[in-house]
């Protein structure tokens, strides 16, 4: 008689894994695969990459998922290859070609057009996107052949750098605000050049302060012994390392974890002088290292207001 296959026990792991997402995988499929490889109870990603795109996809596990929204709001950096002269219905290589044009463009013309897309611009979201109308994603309407009016939204292109032009392929580096569609940027550049365009390739290199150089591939994770995979995780506070820190003693840490506001000036706690977001730690005690407690806001009169709290065992 066959014995039932025993399911592995999911583990309450906490931390951040920087994945170099391969081409052809959706962000959710990549997350499910890595979550299974880690035997993790809870995991989430920090903003999607289209299946045709590759590069940095931060994955959050356990307590780190509480801070994943911070990366959704963070600036992103990409390298992209824009195929001039060919437009598709999706704006990338996954769509059907809908128009072709001759390409006879100089680098001087390209530089002049790129200047128009730097800084604050308006961008119309694509039909092939997950934005919803009446509870239904736009891409579902698009697949039914329906095109809906979309309102232009403000985005910021912090960096739009010319890398090289080998006709008809234009390679660019882009650093942009949240909500920017690089597919639309490529299409708009092609339209401004009078020839149309779509994205031939897209690779994300930075999400906020996190960088692709510190990432691992799916193949690398799969090749590792299971017991070594958790060592790939960066600590939860890797998501908060761009914020100043505040360190509390045992009593203040207890009050903070209860959600109480703390007057840092009154308690004589060293703290940043500027108002804004901080990461908060319980001070090291003996052989016990300091412990992340969560994030908070420093408000007027040096008041520390708890924001998102970490579950602690103490």
Residues annotated as catalytic (active site), given as ranges: 50
C-alpha distance from residue 154 to each of 3, 113, 130, 157 (Å) = 59, 19, 18, 10
Tell me how far apart the alpha carbons of residues 200 and 195 are, in angstroms, rounded to a whole number: 15
By CB atoms closer than 10 A (0-12, 13-18, 19+), residue 76 is buried
Contact 125, 135 (CB under 8 A): no
DSSP single-letter state for residue 74: S
* Nearest CA-CA partner of 133 in 149, 154, 152, 153: 149
Closest CA relative to residue 253, chosen from 288, 208, 214? 288
Sole residue written with tokens 């690089």: 182
Q: Cα(288)–Cα(283) distance, rounded to whole angstroms? A: 9
How many helices (H) and strands (E) the chain has is answered by: 8, 19
């Amino acid at each position: 008689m066959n014995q039932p296959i025993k399911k592995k026990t999911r583990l309450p792991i906490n931390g951040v894994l920087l994945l170099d997402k391969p081409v052809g995988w959706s962000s959710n499929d990549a997350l499910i695969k890595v979550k299974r490889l880690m035997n993790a109870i809870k995991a989430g990603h920090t903003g999607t990459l289209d299946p045709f795109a590759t590069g940095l996809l931060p994955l959050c596990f356990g307590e780190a998922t509480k801070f994943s929204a911070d990366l959704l709001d963070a600036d992103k950096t990409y390298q992209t290859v824009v195929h001039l002269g060919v437009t598709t219905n999706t704006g990338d290589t996954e769509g059907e070609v809908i128009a072709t044009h001759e390409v006879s463009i100089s680098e001087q013309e390209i530089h002049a057009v790129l200047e128009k897309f730097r800084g604050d611009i308006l961008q119309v979201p694509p039909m092939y996107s997950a934005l919803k109308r009446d509870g239904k994603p736009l891409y579902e309407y698009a697949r039914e052949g329906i095109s809906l009016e979309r309102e232009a939204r403000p985005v910021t292109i912090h960096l739009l750098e010319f890398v090289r032009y080998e006709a008809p392929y234009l390679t660019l580096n882009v650093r942009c605000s949240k909500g920017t569609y690089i597919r639309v940027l490529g299409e708009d550049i092609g339209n401004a050049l009078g020839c149309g365009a779509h994205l031939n390739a897209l690779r994300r290199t930075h999400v906020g302060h996190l960088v692709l150089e510190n990432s691992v591939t799916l193949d690398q994770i799969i090749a590792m012994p299971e017991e070594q995979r958790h060592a790939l995780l960066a600590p939860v506070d890797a998501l908060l390392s761009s914020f100043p820190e505040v360190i509390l003693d045992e009593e203040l840490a207890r009050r903070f974890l209860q959600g109480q506001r703390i007057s840092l000036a009154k308690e004589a706690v060293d703290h940043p002088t500027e108002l804004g977001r901080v990461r908060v730690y319980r001070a090291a005690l003996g052989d016990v290292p300091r412990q992340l407690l969560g994030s908070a806001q420093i408000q007027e009169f040096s008041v520390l207001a708890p924001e998102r709290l970490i579950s602690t065992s103490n």
